[in-house]
């Protein structure tokens, strides 16, 4: 006997766009092809040794093998508070304004569950990282999209959304430096957002996961630097990119006490917190020498320059990102009519290069692909050479692709 069931929350999720590309990548590798993978934002370098050594030291203590605290150990919350004071000159109370999360993604999703009622409306930039809209959609809410560019048009769209949405939006999601677009926001923009959202009583969830991956610009600011921001805003940060710790799953939420408390309450039902030695090692990362952060930043900058300069020489003009570990690349004009998924599939088939289709980040991303700076200089140069050959045969490839699609449609 089989049980057929349409699960309500699963039905609200669209097909996972990246699954098709990932399956294609797996088939190619199984056939022996060397795929250069820029598709996932997965740091390829090891975690700095002093952080690993602290993990090992802490793991040798049997007392650390017990359940941890879902809010995070006090020492790690104090380390986060120290980071905010040093980096942003913002005071964070480690007891009431900070909580440890299992990566920023988990924190965003669980806070969405904590504050969302069925039918609630949330404002989300488009394109954006998938958890930003779908955390709320899974929780039963609905999303209204606003531009991703942090400028006057964003603010005008924000005003229109509030005036014309019924019910009134409960929250706004921000993400600067932005994944996938790599756009940056400044304090003037944050100040206007805080003023607007305080007036309209709208929560702000700011994702600052890429705060330390920046190039040729001033360090990205925090929304919590704005006076009064903590009345409405909570900010998520992460150890994943800053310290090459993606698999460790450690992140934070800091800011508004009500939102932090709501997240703490729902997490108390769902988990016991990260393994204590991981939290001890994360504390050592935040409190210890920061040379490793400078080195990681320099590595991404070097990879960025190799990629962008190489693509330009190959005939693909891609804006140089000022932050994050991604380039947001407009599809070359000859391929633009295909859309990002078909272009990504062609790129993998004929250049052995995997990228993330922009449509996976929202419909307004379909004219772009996201390229992760996750391969070394040698592999990046090889990818550029492959892409140059690929672009040179554009007419033939497009004709072949369109014939294949036409045959499939029949």
* Confidence band of 7 (pLDDT split at 50, 70, 90): confident
Give percent of the chain above pLDDT 70: 96
| Residue 335 scores a pLDDT above 60 | yes
Domain boundary among 258, 289, 320: 289
- Going by their DSSP bridges, the two strands 121-126 and 171-175 should be labelled as parallel
Same domain, residue pair 240 and 295: no
Under 8 Å between Cβ of 254 and 53:
no
Block residue for tokens 């250069």:
36
Indicate the average pLDDT of the chain: 94
Asked if pLDDT for residue 67 goes beyond 80, the answer is: yes
Q: What is the pLDDT of residue 164?
A: 92
Higher per-residue confidence, 402 vs 202: 202
Q: What is the pLDDT of residue 64?
A: 94
- pLDDT higher than threshold 70 for residue 409: no
For 203, residues 6+ apart whose C-beta sits below 8 A from its C-beta are 115, 170, 171, 172, 197, 232, 233, 234, 256, 259
Of 259, 289, 319, which residue is a domain's last? 289
Look up tokens 């007419």; give the residue. 395
pLDDT-based confidence at residue 410 (cuts at 50, 70, 90): low
Tell me the average pLDDT across 15-35: 86
Taking only the tens place, the pLDDT of each residue in 229-245 is 999 999 999 999 999 99
**How many domains in the chain?**
2
Domain of 322, in residue numbers: 8-46+291-405
Res. 393 pLDDT band, cuts 50 70 90: confident
Q: How far is Cα 250 from Cα 241, in angstroms, rounded to an integer?
A: 11
- Domain with residue 143: its CATH number is 3.40.640.10
- Name which of 69, 94, 91 is nearest 79 in CA terms: 94
In terms of phi and psi (left: phi > 0; alpha: psi -120 to 50; beta: otherwise), the region of 34 is beta
Cis peptide before 351 (omega within 30 of 0): no
Q: Same domain, yes or no, for 331 and 285?
A: no
| Mean pLDDT, range 312-329, rounded to an integer | 97
* pLDDT at 1 > cutoff 50: no
Tokens 């605290």 label which residue?
69
- Tell me, what's the pLDDT at 266? 96
**pLDDT at residue 352 tops 80:** yes
Average of per-residue pLDDT across 305-323: 97
Examine the domain organization and report whether 230 and 278 are in the same domain: yes
pLDDT tens digits along 48-65: 999 999 999 999 999 999
**DSSP annotation of 248:** G
In CATH, what number is assigned to the domain containing residue 301? 3.90.1150.10
Do 61 and 176 share a domain, yes or no?
yes
Contact 230, 224 (CB under 8 A): yes
Pair (258, 326) in one structural domain: no
Per-residue confidence at 402, pLDDT binned at 50, 70, 90? low
Residues 265, 295 within the same domain: no
Read off the pLDDT of each residue in 184-204 and give the average, rounded to a whole number: 98
Across residues 145-159, what is the average pLDDT?
A: 95
Q: Is the pLDDT of residue 217 over 70?
A: yes
Is residue 63 in a domain?
yes
Span 73-95, mean pLDDT?
98
Q: 278 and 295 share a domain? A: no
4-13, 151-160, 173-182, 256-265 — which is least confidently predicted?
4-13
304 & 251 share domain: no
Rounded CA-CA distance 133/362 in Å is: 9
Residues 82 and 224 grouped into a single domain: yes
Closest to 319 (Cα-Cα) out of 310, 328, 331:
328
Residue 16: its pLDDT value, please? Answer: 73
Q: Which residue, among 308, 323, 370, 305, has the nearest Cα to 184 in the 3D structure?
A: 323
Residue 327 lies in a domain: yes
Can you give the pLDDT at residue 22? 85
Q: Is residue 410 part of a domain?
A: no
Of 289, 312, 347, which residue sits at a domain end? 289
């Amino acid at each position: 006997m089989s049980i057929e069931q349409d699960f309500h929350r699963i039905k609200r999720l669209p097909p996972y766009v990246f699954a098709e590309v990932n399956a294609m990548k797996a088939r190619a590798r199984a056939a022996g092809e060397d795929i250069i993978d820029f598709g996932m934002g997965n740091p390829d370098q090891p975690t700095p040794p002093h952080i690993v050594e602290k993990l090992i030291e802490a793991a040798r203590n049997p007392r650390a093998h017990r359940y941890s605290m879902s809010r995070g150990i006090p020492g790690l919350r104090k380390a986060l508070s120290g980071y905010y004071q040093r980096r942003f000159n913002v005071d964070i109370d480690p007891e009431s304004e900070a909580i440890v999360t299992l990566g920023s993604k988990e924190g965003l999703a669980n806070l969405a569950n904590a504050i969302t009622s069925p039918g609630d409306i949330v404002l989300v930039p488009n394109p954006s990282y998938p958890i930003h809209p779908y955390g709320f959609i899974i929780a039963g809410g609905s999303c209204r999209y606003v531009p991703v560019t942090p400028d006057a048009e964003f603010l005008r769209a924000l005003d229109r959304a509030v005036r014309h949405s019924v019910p009134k939006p409960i929250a706004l999601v921000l993400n600067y430096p932005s994944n996938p677009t790599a756009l940056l926001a400044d304090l003037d923009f944050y100040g206007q957002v805080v003023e607007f959202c305080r007036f309209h009583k709208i929560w702000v969830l700011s994702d600052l996961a890429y705060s330390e991956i920046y190039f040729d610009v001033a360090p990205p600011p925090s929304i919590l630097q704005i006076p009064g921001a903590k009345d409405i805003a909570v900010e998520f940060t992460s150890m994943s990119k800053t310290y090459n710790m993606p698999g460790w799953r450690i992140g934070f939420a800091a800011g508004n006490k009500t939102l932090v408390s709501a997240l703490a309450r729902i997490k108390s039902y769902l988990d016991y917190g990260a393994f204590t030695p991981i939290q001890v090692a994360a504390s050592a990362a935040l409190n210890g020498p920061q040379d490793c952060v400078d080195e990681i930043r320099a590595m991404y900058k070097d990879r960025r320059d190799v990629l962008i300069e190489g693509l330009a020489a190959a005939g693909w003009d891609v804006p140089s990102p000022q932050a994050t570990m991604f380039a947001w690349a407009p599809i070359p004009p000859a391929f633009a009519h295909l859309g990002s998924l078909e272009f990504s599939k062609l790129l993998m088939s004929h250049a052995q290069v995997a990228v993330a289709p922009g449509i996976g980040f929202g419909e307004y991303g379909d004219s772009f692909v996201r390229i992760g700076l996750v391969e070394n200089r040698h592999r990046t140069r090889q990818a550029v050479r492959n892409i140059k050959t690929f672009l040179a045969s554009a007419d033939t490839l497009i004709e072949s692709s369109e014939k294949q699609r036409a045959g499939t449609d029949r």
